[in-house]
Amino acid sequence: MSAQPSNNLGQGATESLDLTDRARELLQPLVHLVLDVDGTLALDDNLFPTTNQFIEILHDLGMSFTIITNNSSKSRPAHCHRLRRMGLEISDDQILVSTQATLRYLKESHPQVKRLFVLGTPGLQEEFSDAGYTICDHRVEDEPDAVIVGFDMSLTYERLCRAAYWIKNGKKYFATHPDYVCPTDQPTVLVDCGSIINCLKAAAGREPDAILGKPNPQMLEVIRQKHGLGKSQIAMVGDRLYTDMAMAHAAEVASILVLCGETTRDQAESVQPSPDIVVSDPGELGNLLVLAKRTE
């Protein structure tokens, strides 16, 4: 695919950009980007200043995208509503949440599981209920077939203890994603699913039987198959090394790290395998795409 420079590319914006031969080789064939949200496009309820410009450049280049997030505390419609409220035009089918990956895995790999104890928000519990599962409460008499652990912003000690009890007693145990914290610019630490997993490991002595969100490459495979894409036509864009970049490497697609979230440049340069491309923010990536796809 070739394209003329986007109108959204500022005058002279390409002069200081370094488009290496390797970056051009990776960016030219791309037709679809898989985009992380928190730390990549937005933080809390605010888009980064260059996010809308970046999305407009993708439209100008005829490129499509999927928003992918490990944040299982919200449903897919809730994520869509949040992004629209921030000013990003997007439809429900452009979003893939780790919850959908978990549901798909359960139906394909554990069809006998019908009853779930879900350590997660009411929204997460509702998604499993809407998918046909019976949601068990914290009473020991209400025995589940399996335990699901997500990003539980409504966590209570009683429910945490019940999850540990079922896990310690051998129930199947699945987690939506491994993130330790959720990015925020507020004066707090948002303890995420990976930290709850570590708590349960210390208490119950077990890791999850499967963790279905990033970096599990199946999330990218779902998107590739849906759009009929070869591996050279899709790239993962995110701010985390141990989820976003690790998934890209596992799925053997291009990995593009943005430095507006969790990861510093020093960290990016010290990790192996390193990200294929490192940019400061979505705007810089958009400008590199224009350069890569510009006709000579």
Q: Residue type for 47, please?
A: L
- 77 has pLDDT over 50: yes
CB hemisphere CA count around 187 (13 angstroms): 0
Q: Are residues 182 and 233 in the same domain?
A: no
Convert the pLDDT of each residue in 127-155 to its tens digit. 999 999 999 999 999 999 999 999 999 99
Q: Are residues 194 and 134 in the same domain?
A: yes
Closest CA relative to residue 66, chosen from 202, 236, 262, 280: 236
184 falls within a domain: yes
First vs last C-alpha separation in the chain: 13
What 3-state DSSP class applies to 226?
helix
Residue whose pair of structure tokens reads 């068990």 in the numeric block:
136
Q: Are residues 204 and 240 in the same domain?
A: no
Q: Residue type for 128, please?
A: F
11 falls within a domain: no
168 falls within a domain: yes
Q: Are residues 207 and 254 in the same domain?
A: no
Tokens of 49: 């200043």
Q: Are residues 120 and 186 in the same domain?
A: yes
Q: Are residues 137 and 191 in the same domain?
A: yes
Q: Are residues 118 and 171 in the same domain?
A: yes
Tell whether omega for the bond before 215 is within 30 degrees of 0, i.e. cis: yes
pLDDT of amino acid 296: 44
Burial of 274 (0-12, 13-18, 19+ CB in 10 A): middle
* Total of domains in the chain: 2
pLDDT of amino acid 154: 93
- Residue after which a domain boundary falls, among 143, 177, 211: 211
* Contacts with 15 (C-beta within 8 Å, 6 or more apart), sequence order: none
How is residue 57 annotated by DSSP? H
- Residue after which a domain boundary falls, among 193, 211, 229: 211
Q: Are 117 and 152 in contact (CB under 8 A)?
A: no
117 falls within a domain: yes
Residue 129 domain boundaries: 113-211
Q: Are residues 123 and 197 in the same domain?
A: yes
Could you please report the per-residue DSSP string of 85-122? HHT----GGGEEEHHHHHHHHHHHH-TT--EEEEES-H
Q: Residue type for 252, please?
A: E
Q: Are residues 203 and 230 in the same domain?
A: no
Convert the pLDDT of each residue in 155-173 to its tens digit. 999 999 999 999 999 999 9
This prediction has a pTM of 0.84
Q: Are residues 205 and 228 in the same domain?
A: no
How many whole angstroms separate alpha carbon 236 and alpha carbon 126?
A: 29
How many whole angstroms separate alpha carbon 139 and alpha carbon 166?
A: 11
60 falls within a domain: no
Q: What CATH number is given to the structural domain containing 149?
A: 3.40.50.1000
Compute φ and ψ for 199, nearest 5 degrees.
Answer: -60, -45
pLDDT of amino acid 270: 94
- Residue after which a domain boundary falls, among 211, 245, 279: 211
Using pLDDT thresholds of 50, 70 and 90, give the confidence band for residue 89: confident
Convert the pLDDT of each residue in 161-214 to its tens digit. 999 999 999 999 999 999 999 888 889 999 999 999 999 999 999 999 999 999
How is residue 48 annotated by DSSP? -
